Amino acid sequence: MSESLDSRTKTLNFNVGVLGHVDSGKTSLARALSSTASTAAFDKNPQSRERGITLDLGFSSFTVDFPDHLRDSGQQYDSLQFTLVDCPGHASLIRTIIGGAQIIDLMILVVDVVKGVQTQTAECLLIGELTCPRMVIVLNKTDLLPPNKRQSAIEKMTKKLHKTLESTRFKDCPVIAVAAKPGGPEAPDTEEPQGVPQLIELLKKQTYLPKRDPKGDLLMAVDHCFSIRGQGTVMTGTILQGSLAINDTVEIPVLKVTKKIKSVQMFRKPVSGAMQGDRVGVCVTQFDPKLLERGLVCTPGSLRTLYAAVVSVRKIGYFKGSLATRAKFHITVGHETVMARVTFFGLPPVDSKLAPSEPCSLETPFTFDREYFYQDEYVSGQGEGGSGPDSEQWALLEFERPVTCPALCLVIGSKLDSDIHANACRLAFQGRLLHGFEDKSYAETSLPSLRIYKTKHKEGQVERVTDDYSLIGRSLFKKETNLQLFVGLKVTLSTGESGVIEGGFGQSGKFKIRIPDKNSAETREDPSREIDGEENNQKD
């Protein structure tokens, strides 16, 4: 589990994300909870201090006795360290929230008890559903409620929140009321926070043993970088997978350099190494820290830089707009957010009504061996009124700039350029990265292997019947069309018979059709029938 490798005491590190609407009091809550602040804690950004909002991920921690309910797990720990990830609440900074949410074990959703659920509160809830197994709701600023109405207001808001959460994974999650900074931000620090000891006890009860594994390639999400004269450059962040130790060589993919680890600290205490789930400061040989404010560090050669990717897709139900092919979305992948053009595709239809040929299944694997159907947009709900489950769908993402990310990582598509003051969810879809294209010339070298087809319906005429099983058609293709590309194409006569194109006939675009079940008497008597051809070999 998560511990300092050379420490005599074993400490479990548990990452808690603090999310919520701007000005809900998240930073004040983290400040009230924490006893030890890391270098990135509590609004290090000068602009944050001026504006009174968090512009970056802040990290802080506090340590408590190891909870009794975890002692029977077979793991021997002496203490539990809560690492608080204070995420920004301002709407335009949601890309940072998404980056932070991917490294947390439990989420605290902070709600202003006076204002209730606001737009970004709902977006934070959605991000939590995608990234986090557990949540605690903190009703903050209870000191602003009139004392004689305080309890009834808290109970009313709690009931309202539970109703909101009924259809989510956080149904019946605990709700607790606090006043993290009585009197507001300008109040003197002599005012004691209210309800914080009870919140700490609740957090202890909500802890579990996260799955940690020191094996495999190192992947560390760096959120802050600074230099120490005479020592080197320090990168602080959270280890997402694998482990690291002093003298290891690590790669910084965005800089295309490798560096040797000189020292490691966990909340200002020197350790010889750390593993998945740990929050660490890693000092490496000198480089300009301005080049890496946020990014990934990994085992050399273990990450790939992608120019495009195939991802699974599920629309987020609260997003009201359509998901249109060729539209551009903000794509958060790994710890980067970039613009990308999106092409949606799905399983081939079984008939002309484009019904899905396979039932909806998250287990339908993506493979280059299958042909897929081009979609003008994401198709929601196949049942009556569009209320049924969505069919299995995928998307091709073509990034405006290359991104560096791990395999199978979470992908979130958003419309972050929409009006931040509008009362509308901007998170559009989510999925997993299934295949990446690393070649800058992927459109010519790799993309042809992705077989996405459009359907076109064309009509022609029967020119004459040659025998009981064959006829000649015309007006379906242009004279210069290479008919060999259409051999095997299914066609339907207006009399209801079906056949396939066997090849061209002459040089004028005419073609031969084979009718396996023999021409009907009606066709033989009056061959001037229409031919309906479904052309599905147009590659996108």
pLDDT the model gives residue 33: 84
Query: What is the C-alpha separation between 481 and 83, in angstroms, rounded?
Result: 66
Contact 472, 499 (CB under 8 A): no
Query: What is the C-alpha separation between 238 and 219, in angstroms, rounded?
Result: 9
CATH fold of 219-298: Elongation Factor Tu (Ef-tu); domain 3 (2.40.30)
CB atoms within 10 A of CB 215: 9
- The number of residues in the chain equals 540
pLDDT the model gives residue 73: 66
Give the helix/strand (H/E) hosting 525: helix 521-525
Which pTM was predicted?
0.70
313-351+363-380+390-450 has CATH 3.30.230.70 classification? no
3-state SS string for 83-94: EEEECCCCHHHH
Q: Which amino acid is at 183?
A: G
CA separation (Å) from 7 to 78, 82, 273?
11, 18, 10
Q: What are phi and psi of 215, to 5 degrees?
A: -80, 165
**461-498 residue pLDDT tens:** 888 888 888 989 888 888 888 888 788 888 888 888 88
pLDDT the model gives residue 420: 58
User: Do the bridges between strand 257-266 and strand 279-284 make them parallel or antiparallel, or are there none, so unpaired?
Assistant: antiparallel
Ramachandran region of residue 172, left (φ > 0), alpha (ψ -120 to 50) or beta?
left
Query: What is the C-alpha separation between 411 and 430, in angstroms, rounded?
Result: 6
Q: How far is CA 216 from the centre of its chain?
A: 22
Query: What is the C-alpha separation between 180 and 113, in angstroms, rounded?
Result: 12
**Topology match between the domains 219-298 and 313-351+363-380+390-450:** yes
Query: What is the C-alpha separation between 226 and 234, in angstroms, rounded?
Result: 5
Q: How far is CA 152 from the centre of its chain?
A: 38
pLDDT the model gives residue 361: 42
Q: What are phi and psi of 133, to 5 degrees?
A: -80, -25
**How big is the CA angle at 380 (ends 359 and 308), to the nearest 5 degrees?**
90
Query: What is the C-alpha separation between 47 and 351, in angstroms, rounded?
Result: 58
37 contacts: CB under 8 Å, gap ≥ 6 = 60, 61
User: Do the bridges between strand 135-140 and strand 175-177 make them parallel or antiparallel, or are there none, so unpaired?
Assistant: parallel
pLDDT the model gives residue 38: 37
pLDDT the model gives residue 101: 56
Q: Which CATH class is domain 455-537?
A: mainly beta
DSSP string, 447-489: GGGS-EEEEEEEEEEEEEEEETTEEEEESSS-TT--GGGGTT-
Contact 378, 388 (CB under 8 A): no
Average pLDDT, the chain: 80
Query: What is the C-alpha separation between 265 and 276, in angstroms, rounded?
Result: 15
pLDDT the model gives residue 111: 92
Contact 269, 261 (CB under 8 A): no
What is the DSSP code (8-state) at residue 290?
G
CATH number for the region 11-206 comes to 3.40.50.300
pLDDT the model gives residue 116: 85
Q: Provide, for the chain, the percentages of residues in helix, strand and coil under a 3-state DSSP scheme, each rounded to the nearest 5.
A: 20, 40, 40
Say whether 356 sits in a helix, a strand or coil: strand
> Measured in Å, how far apart are the chain's first and last C-alpha atoms?
48
Q: Mean pLDDT in each 10-residue stretch from start to end of the chain (540 residues)? A: 46 85 80 56 39 45 85 76 72 52 80 84 82 91 90 93 89 92 69 86 92 87 87 89 95 92 88 89 93 87 92 90 94 86 88 39 74 92 55 94 86 80 81 94 92 82 88 87 81 85 87 83 64 56
Ramachandran region of residue 306, left (φ > 0), alpha (ψ -120 to 50) or beta?
beta
6 contacts: CB under 8 Å, gap ≥ 6 = 271, 272, 273
Query: What is the C-alpha separation between 444 and 436, in angstroms, rounded?
Result: 15
**Cα Rg, the chain, nearest whole Å:** 30
pLDDT the model gives residue 395: 97
Six-digit token string for 403? 């991104």
DSSP string, 366-422: --TTS-EEEESB-----SGGG-SPPPPEEEEEEEEEEEEE-TT-EEEEE-TTS-TTS
pLDDT the model gives residue 479: 84
pLDDT the model gives residue 29: 85
Q: Where are the domains of the chain?
A: 11-206, 219-298, 313-351+363-380+390-450, 455-537
Q: Which residue has the tokens 């484009």?
A: 354
pLDDT the model gives residue 393: 94
Q: Which residue has the tokens 């091709």?
A: 396
